[in-house]
């Protein structure tokens, strides 16, 4: 743990996040192993499919500048203000 405390904040945060993700994957694998014996040919799901369903998708952040976003908002507002 002292190794992590000496790392730059971003690197330490990435490492901690990666460890948490791996811990989640390990726990889900244990759960999958408990379900696996009860799966039949019709109900079989691979671990990858099981994992994708169990873990929420990552949210992608909008990296546009404030000006670009405001410009898009103005375009959308104009579309709604025009008579149809």
* Average pLDDT of the chain, as a whole number: 89
Flag whether 67 is in a domain.
no
Q: Quick check: is 83 in a domain?
A: no
Q: Establish if 72 belongs to a structural domain.
A: no
Helices (H), 1-84: 2-5, 9-35, 47-54, 66-81
Tell me if 29 is assigned to some domain. Answer: yes
Counted residue by residue, the chain has a size of: 84
Q: At 13, is the pLDDT very low, low, confident or very high (cuts 50, 70, 90)? A: confident
At 1, the pLDDT band (50, 70, 90 cuts) reads: low
67's tokens:
């000006």
63, part of any domain: no
pLDDT digits (tens, 9 = 90+) for 20-74: 999 999 999 999 999 999 999 999 999 999 999 999 888 888 889 999 999 999 9
Query: How many independent structural domains does the chain possess?
Result: 1
Domain interval for residue 16: 1-57
Q: Is residue 37 part of a domain?
A: yes
73 falls within a domain: no
Tokens of residue 2, six digits: 């002292």
Quick check: 84 pLDDT over 80? Answer: no
pTM reported for the whole predicted model: 0.61
Q: Is residue 70 part of a domain?
A: no
């Amino acid at each position: 743990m002292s190794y992590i405390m000496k790392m730059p904040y971003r690197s330490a945060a990435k490492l901690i996040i990666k460890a948490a993700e791996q811990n989640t994957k390990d726990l889900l694998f244990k759960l999958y192993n408990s379900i696996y014996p009860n799966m039949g040919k019709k109900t079989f799901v691979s671990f990858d499919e099981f994992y994708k369903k169990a873990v929420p998708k990552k949210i992608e952040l909008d990296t546009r500048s404030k000006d670009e976003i405001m410009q898009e908002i103005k375009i959308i507002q104009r579309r709604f203000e025009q008579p149809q």
